[in-house]
Structure 1
Amino acid sequence: MSPLFSDTIVALSTPPGAGALAVLRLSGPAAVAITAALFSKKSFAQATGHTLHYGTLRHPGNGEILDEVVAALYRGPRSFTREDVVEISCHGSDYVVRQVLAALLREGARLAEAGEFTKRAFLNGAMDLAQAEAVADLIAADSALSHRVALNQLRGGFSQELRELRARLIKFAALLELELDFGEEDVEFADRTGLAHLLAEVRAVVAGLLRSFELGNVIKNGITAVIAGRPNAGKSTLLNALLREERAIVSAIPGTTRDFIEDEVSIDGLRFRFVDTAGLRDNPADEIEAIGVARTRQRVRQAALLLYLFDLTELTPEEVRAEIQELTNGLDLPVMAVGNKTDLASAEDIAAFVSGFRSSQANQLSEMPLVLLAAGQNHGLEALQQALVDQVRGTALENNASATIVTNVRHARALEIAASHLAAVQTGLDTSRGTELLAADLRHALAALGEITGEISSEDLLTSIFTQFCIGK
């Protein structure tokens, strides 16, 4: 098979800046020849793939030694891009990198565009589009779960599931198209009962993938958890305890926090962004505090999860319920009630509060998670962290570590389009709609599924995806 690309690209594949090592990557038909022109090892041009070579790189004009390097050689198609690839490990000086890169460019390489190595891997058939996008997700992964999900997608788990769905639908689509070819003879090649059963299965799988996007979005982007409550409930203390650092000022003076403070932490593989907010009260002490209260309410509307923190020694279950209902009025927002300062309450008072919180009189709170703690002493912090993880993750991922989780917005949109057209096919079967309409809706559904893996793609789509990658990947 002749190569798709006639030029050779080069880029720095390690982060810019001084370091022990830097890696420059070349890919293309002249990658070996360009490196050999600068390399002290004359046998490099004839070397086999998957080998390492130590030597020096010299300036092509004056022969000055640029650096001592190790060159890793990968012969296509057994390489990341399925082209000849050379990865040059040099010392991580900015000056050295610039000199080596300039020499490679003088020998005929050109600077790679963002994501061009992975784009070549896709276009050369080394991976599909969903796997290519997983490369970027894997690089950006900053928690155990985001790493696991990206790695599963990179290894083709999601793609395989989609290919199986499309393969089954394509068989029926072909039969429907065949019916159109014999339209004048009024024959049916596609078993409508069998198609209905298949549609039910495929729609269930697509619906499951769409449901997983809620969890996948959290895994990939983290979840914003707003800590709200009255002044002096201990919100800043709780933020510091969760972050394990003195991030927010803690004072006994009410209204110390005038604006929100936020930071991120990973808990059991999930990334949370906790937001400490100004205390909520009806009569703020001054205009600045009033602005802070207004911003708290705005931040709650933008949250994915609300931690309503209250002083266990001051409020009754009814008051907690009323304050949460007032704050979340009209919002579809998961809420966790967090009672603080258990160290200042007796065991009897704590038991009475829990009983009242769960009583029939407080039935609106009966399903709401309740966690009791003493943030100042770090008592109960583990229980809160576990409750947060349970609230977000549930048990689906733990029960199946290899479960397919959709994390990409583009994939979710394509699945929504596919689901819509599959529903239209089902409606067409139920109402005995004509073969032309059934075939058209099925084609649209197949096209939407194909866009995820790149079996059906456009240059605009590829440009949009790969320009979001870093240079050198």
Structure 2
Amino acid sequence: MILQDTIVALATPSGAGAIAVLRLSGPDAIGIAATVFQSVSGKDITKQKSHTLHLGHIVDDGKIYDQVLLSLFKGTNSYTGENTVEISCHGSTFIQQQIIQLLLRKGCRMANAGEFTLRAFLNGKLDLSQAEAVADLIASDNEASHQIAMQQMRGGFSSEIAKLREELLNFASLIELELDFAEEDVEFADRTQFFDLLNRIEFVLKRLIDSFAVGNVIKNGIPVAIVGEPNVGKSTLLNALLNEERAIVSDIAGTTRDTIEDELVIQGIGFRFIDTAGIRETQDVVESIGIRKTFEKIEQAQVVVYLVDSFQLMADGSSMELLQTEVGKIKNQFPLKPLVIIGNKADKLDANQQESIKNQVPEILLISAKDNQGVETLKEQLLSFVNTGALRNNETIVTNTRHYDSLLKALEEIQKVNYGMQINLPSDLMAIDIRQALYHFGEITGQVTNDELLGNIFANFCIGK
């Protein structure tokens, strides 16, 4: 895939604003820009240095379109690795479109989604995992996902993979060399060192694969289902967590008939809270649909918050038995999901009553969502379900499903080579598995690519990036 034409696109969000930035990239970017740009100082931008700014006007056939600021990036000293021009114009959508159409008439082509970053990859400015991190950085909506994307864009993940691949490649070369001297029965690769390398690679791959569980949660947020019987305060709790009146609250049981979702960032980690319809026996058709959706949301959630009315627990002995029955059902049906049991309306209980409930249900967290008591403790408990240690230690965390799949395949091949070493498998058979492992490493960093793969990756980018 070789791109030789010059592309243009709006690099800022579409719509009106104070300013808009139009980006051109390609061999003729500066030349095309020069045909429509008149500097107020009379300078010829084709003769100016890279990384310079020029004030002037966009003009065509005597018509002035706008006063703009033009940024010049020459040759490899640009994001894309080729001549690039950025035009900062006033943010009128009319002005934006007029200038883009003018540049198209002068010889530019509208850029495809992600084509600027694709050119940066093809020109060696970024490897493939770094290019993908650009999209993750743009999409990051909390501190944790931003931190991971920045680390990957700086090359933290790809440099770790590239180092392992280089070491494996060196040994692979020696193994391949042995095949050329098969009749002499000589060994160029030190088997002890090779075995140590394989064990080290396997250890690193397993660590990276395990990190995907955390990375996926950080990137996509943690869905938390708030469930319980009607009128126990689920909507009030959601409002308290979000610190806004997001859900309708009333004393009428069954007010919430559909799921309500909203997001909250707790210490850099995104949580997606789902307020569900109250679980109870009902003849109401609409409410029944909401209850069915509640169980669907429990299935999709990673954490379940089961809410009960703590005052009702003390007033009615059968409520305690019902609580233990319902909690048992959820634990049996979803044994791997963290379950947080919340006793709401604790403001109605005295100290002795609260102590009595805790003795019967030791894991219960007593709160008052209405008075915002215990809500911060709940947030801390939710945060404890996320392994933030890797973030604090700035460890490499995998968030990309494509990378995760390639790592799994690479690990499988490395384990085959390791087993081959233990049973003294012939070098020619081990070489096949080593080549496959190298191939999967290369898939991550982009040393192994094809047009279909690149098309799938960059199609998810925004146009202008």
TM-score, L = length of structure 1: 0.93
What are the equivalent positions in structure 2 for 1:296-375 lying under 5 Å apart?
296-315=294-313, 319-331=322-334, 332-358=336-362, 370-375=364-369
Counterpart of 1:51? 52
Structure 1 position 317, deviation (Å): 6.6
Structure 2 residue aligned with 1:219: 218
2 CA distance for matches of 1:118 and 1:425? 36
| SS in structure 1 at match of 2:370 | helix
Following superposition, the deviation at residue 310 of structure 1 comes to 1.5
Deviation of residue 44 (structure 1)? 1.4
Instruction: Give 2:15's aligned amino acid.
Output: G
Q: Secondary structure at the match of 1:275?
A: strand
> 1:286 is matched with which residue?
284
The gaps in structure 2 that reach 5 residues or longer are 314-318
Distance in 1 between residues matched to 2:171 and 2:418, nearest whole Å? 13
SS at match of 1:142: coil
Relative to structure 1, is the Cα distance of residues 214 and 129 closer, same or farther in structure 2, using a 3 angstrom cutoff?
same
In the alignment, the residues of structure 2 paired with residue 350 and residue 196 of structure 1 have an alpha-carbon distance, to the nearest angstrom, of 60
Secondary structure in 1 aligned to 2:419? helix
Between the aligned partners of 1:273 and 1:109, the Cα distance in structure 2 is 43
Displacement of 1:69 in angstroms is 0.1
User: How many Å separate the matches in 2 of 1:444 and 1:451?
Assistant: 11
Identify the range of structure 1 (428-437 vs 143-152) with the bigger mean alpha-carbon deviation.
428-437
What's the CA shift string for 1:364-397, capped at 9, x where partnerless?
Answer: x6xxxx5321101111111111211121234332
Instruction: Give the distance between the partners of 1:285 and 1:253, measured in 2 at CA.
Output: 16
- Equivalent residues of 2:144, 2:391 under 8 A apart: no
Q: Which stretch of the first structure deviates more once superposed, 295-304 or 410-419?
A: 295-304
Q: Quick check: 412-421 or 262-271, which moved more?
A: 262-271
Is 1:460 equivalent to 2:452 in the alignment?
yes
Partner of 2:316: none
Aligned to 1:361: none
What is the alpha-carbon distance in structure 2 between the residues aligned to residue 322 and residue 165 of structure 1? 52
Residue by residue over 1:70-94, the C-alpha shift from the partner in whole angstroms, topping out at 9 and shown as x without a partner, is 0000112111011111100001111
Amino acid at match of 2:373: H
Between 342-351 and 135-144, the greater mean CA deviation after superposition: 342-351
| C-alpha separation in 1, matches of 2:339 and 2:255 | 24
Aligned ranges 1:114-263 → 2 under 5 Å: 114-263=113-262
Q: SS of the counterpart of 1:391? A: coil
Per the alignment, in what secondary structure is the counterpart of residue 226 of structure 1? strand
The CA distance in 2 between the partners of 1:218 and 1:301, in whole Å, is 16
| Shift, 1:319, TM fit | 4.5
Unaligned runs of 5+ in 1: 359-364
Residues 320, 52 of structure 1: alpha-carbon distance in 2 compared, 3 angstrom cutoff: same
Per-residue deviation, 1:297: 0.9
Asked whether the 8 Å contact 1:134–1:150 carries over to 2, the reply is yes
3-state DSSP of counterpart to 1:337:
strand
Give the 3-state SS of the residue equivalent to 2:385 in structure 1. Answer: helix
The residue that corresponds to 1:32 in the other structure is: 30
Alpha-carbon offset, residue 19 of structure 1 = 0.7
Identify if the C-alpha distance between structure 1 residues 193 and 320 changes in structure 2 by more than 3 Å, giving closer, same or farther.
Answer: farther
| TM-superposed deviation, 1:202 | 1.0
Tell me if the contact between 2:16 and 2:92 (Cα under 8 Å) persists in the aligned partners.
Answer: yes
**Match of 1:383?**
377
Distance 2:166 2:297 in 1: 46
**How far has the Cα of 1:236 moved from its partner?**
0.6
Aligned residues of 2:113 and 2:459 also touching (Cα < 8 A):
yes
Q: Distance in 2 between matches of 1:185 and 1:293?
A: 75
Q: Is the 8 A contact 1:340 1:373 kept in 2?
A: yes
Matches within 5 A, 1:408-423: 408-423=400-415
Q: Which position in structure 2 is the counterpart of 1:392?
A: 386
CA distance in 2 between counterparts of 1:125 and 1:22 reads 28
Aligned partner letter, 2:52: T
CA distance in 1 between partners of 2:360 and 2:428 (Å)? 62
Deviation digits for residues 130-166 of structure 1 (CA, Å, limit 9, x no counterpart):
0000011111111011111101100111111111111
**Contact preservation (8 Å) 1:73, 1:85:** yes
Letter in 1 for 2:353: D
Residue number in structure 1 paired with 2:423 = 431
SS at match of 1:256: coil
Aligned counterparts of 2:292 and 2:417: Cα–Cα separation in 1: 49
- Pairwise mapping of residues 73-92 of structure 1 onto structure 2 (< 5 A)? 73-92=72-91
CA apart distance, 1:420: 1.0
Structure 1 pair 235/11, CA: closer, same or farther in 2 (3 Å)? same
Distance 1:127 1:317 in 2: 60
| Residues 1:273 and 2:267 aligned together | no
Q: 1:423 to 1:317 in 2, by over 3 A?
A: farther
Q: Within 2, Cα distance between the matches of 1:255 and 1:4? A: 61
Q: Distance in 1 between matches of 2:4 and 2:405?
A: 35
CA contact (8 A) 1:297 1:327 kept: no
Contact 1:175 1:190 in 2 (8 A): yes
CA distance in 2, matches of 1:449, 1:318: 55
Name the structure 2 match of 1:362.
Answer: none
1:258 touches 1:278 (CA, 8 Å); kept in 2? yes
Mean Cα deviation higher: 250-259 or 129-138: 250-259
Equivalenced residue count is 456
User: C-alpha distance in 2, partners of 1:173/1:49?
Assistant: 43
Q: Could you tell me which amino acid in structure 2 is paired with residue 117 of structure 1?
A: F
If the length of structure 2 is used for normalisation, what is the TM-score? 0.94
Q: How far apart are residue 304 of structure 1 and its match? A: 1.4
CA deviation digits over 1:297-352, x for unaligned, max 9? 11111111111112223347765343122134332322222221111122122223
